[in-house]
């Protein structure tokens, strides 16, 4: 199968491309410069430009590009960057695939569990409405930007991804050196739920979305049993054989992270109902399993 991927140099994109190529699929990567080989397609999301010739023959397009949520403090300027990188990029690639004489049979357009906002102790699935605040409103607009692909009759799937457990990047990647140094601890009260997924399962789930014709619309990509931050702290200390003694109070996080602290301290208890109902099986369903898998893959 010929598959196009945006965001192919990010944590998830790199792992997905490696997995697909290992199984013999032809992968073309969208790059923001002139293409240097037949395995690359040039695009410029800010100018709404995609070299559609490079997409000809693709049966699937996976769109993962976007500025990192936790990469910087949420200044007004960076919030604009987060929004524009998602909306402009999604609109550009959705319009490109919709314009093809023979469009791909599936468009997998990344989204996030930030759609649901604060859920507290309440477990939610794909039927839940969007929450309130910056991230939920961003996720709503992000998914709506894929409209041209849906209107063209392309099966469009929105993987709402949770916290990816990996050492090579992402928010969880920042935890490993802290806990290895024996400086890890719960954040705030520690009672907030974290909906996580092992990187291996994230990649397997994305491939499941490509292959499963019955799936369209939002699909939560998160392990079956969300855990509290206190439980994450205990698991990290247990797996890494390090004490986890230093809680980080809410005021300290607010000073260090600004508005992003509210997301870190927020509780999202999200379950993958549609993924499980479609027959997907998790290789690393528990947080201990996911942490050990991250250590083995490094």
Residues 6 or more apart whose CB falls under 8 angstroms from that of 212 comprise 278, 279
Expressed in angstroms, the distance from the first to the final Cα of the chain is: 28
> What is the pLDDT at residue 280?
98
Where are the strands (E) in 199-249, listed by range? 217-221, 227-228
Residues 6 or more apart whose CB falls under 8 angstroms from that of 218 comprise 111, 115, 126, 143, 158, 160, 274
Q: Find the DSSP H helices in 46-108.
A: 76-99
> Tens digit of pLDDT per residue, the chain (298 long)?
999 999 999 999 999 999 999 999 999 999 999 999 989 999 999 898 999 999 999 999 999 998 877 666 778 888 899 999 999 999 999 999 999 999 999 999 999 999 999 999 999 999 999 999 999 999 999 999 999 999 999 999 999 999 999 998 887 887 888 888 887 778 778 899 999 999 999 999 999 999 999 999 999 999 999 999 999 999 999 999 988 776 765 565 554 445 555 555 679 999 999 999 999 999 999 999 999 999 998 5
The H or E element that residue 191 is part of is none
The one-character DSSP state at 62 is E
The H or E element that residue 183 is part of is none
Q: What residue has token string 């073309």? A: 28
Q: What residue has token string 């930007």? A: 145
Question: Do residues 228 and 266 lie in contact, with contact meaning Cβ atoms separated by under 8 Å?
Answer: no
Which residue segments constitute the domains of the chain, with CATH numbers given?
2-296 (3.40.50.720)
**Token reading at 195:** 């909906």
Residues 6 or more apart whose CB falls under 8 angstroms from that of 256 comprise none
How many Cβ atoms from other residues are within 10 Å of residue 211's Cβ? 11
Question: Do residues 137 and 189 lie in contact, with contact meaning Cβ atoms separated by under 8 Å?
Answer: no
Question: Do residues 141 and 87 lie in contact, with contact meaning Cβ atoms separated by under 8 Å?
Answer: yes
pTM score: 0.93
Residues 6 or more apart whose CB falls under 8 angstroms from that of 174 comprise 70
């Amino acid at each position: 199968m010929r598959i196009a991927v945006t965001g192919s140099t990010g944590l998830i994109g790199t792992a997905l491309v490696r997995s697909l190529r290992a199984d013999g699929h032809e992968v073309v990567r969208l790059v923001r410069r002139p293409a240097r080989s037949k395995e690359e397609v040039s695009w410029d999301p800010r100018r709404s430009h995609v070299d559609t010739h490079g997409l000809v023959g693709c049966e699937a397009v996976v769109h993962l590009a976007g500025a990192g949520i936790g990469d910087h403090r949420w200044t007004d300027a960076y919030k604009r960057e987060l929004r524009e990188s998602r909306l402009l990029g999604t609109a550009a690639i959705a319009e490109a695939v919709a314009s093809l004489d023979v469009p791909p049979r599936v468009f997998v357009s990344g989204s996030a569990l930030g759609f649901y906002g604060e859920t507290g102790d309440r477990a939610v699935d794909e039927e839940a409405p969007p929450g309130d605040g910056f991230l939920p409103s961003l996720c709503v607009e992000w998914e709506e930007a894929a409209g041209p692909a849906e209107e063209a009759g392309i099966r469009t799937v929105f993987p709402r991804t949770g916290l990816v457990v990996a050492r090579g990047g992402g928010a969880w990647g920042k935890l490993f050196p802290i806990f290895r140094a024996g400086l890890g601890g719960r954040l705030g009260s520690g009672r907030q739920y974290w909906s996580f997924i092992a990187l291996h399962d994230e990649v397997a789930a994305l491939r499941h979305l490509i292959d499963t014709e019955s799936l369209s619309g939002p699909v939560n990509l998160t392990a079956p049993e969300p855990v509290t931050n206190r439980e994450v702290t205990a698991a990290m200390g247990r797996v890494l054989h390090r004490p986890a003694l230093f809680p980080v109070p809410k005021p300290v996080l607010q000073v260090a992270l600004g508005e992003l602290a509210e997301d870190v301290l927020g509780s999202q208890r999200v379950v993958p109902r549609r993924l499980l109902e479609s027959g997907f099986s998790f290789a690393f369903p528990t947080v201990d399993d996911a942490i050990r898998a991250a250590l083995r893959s490094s």
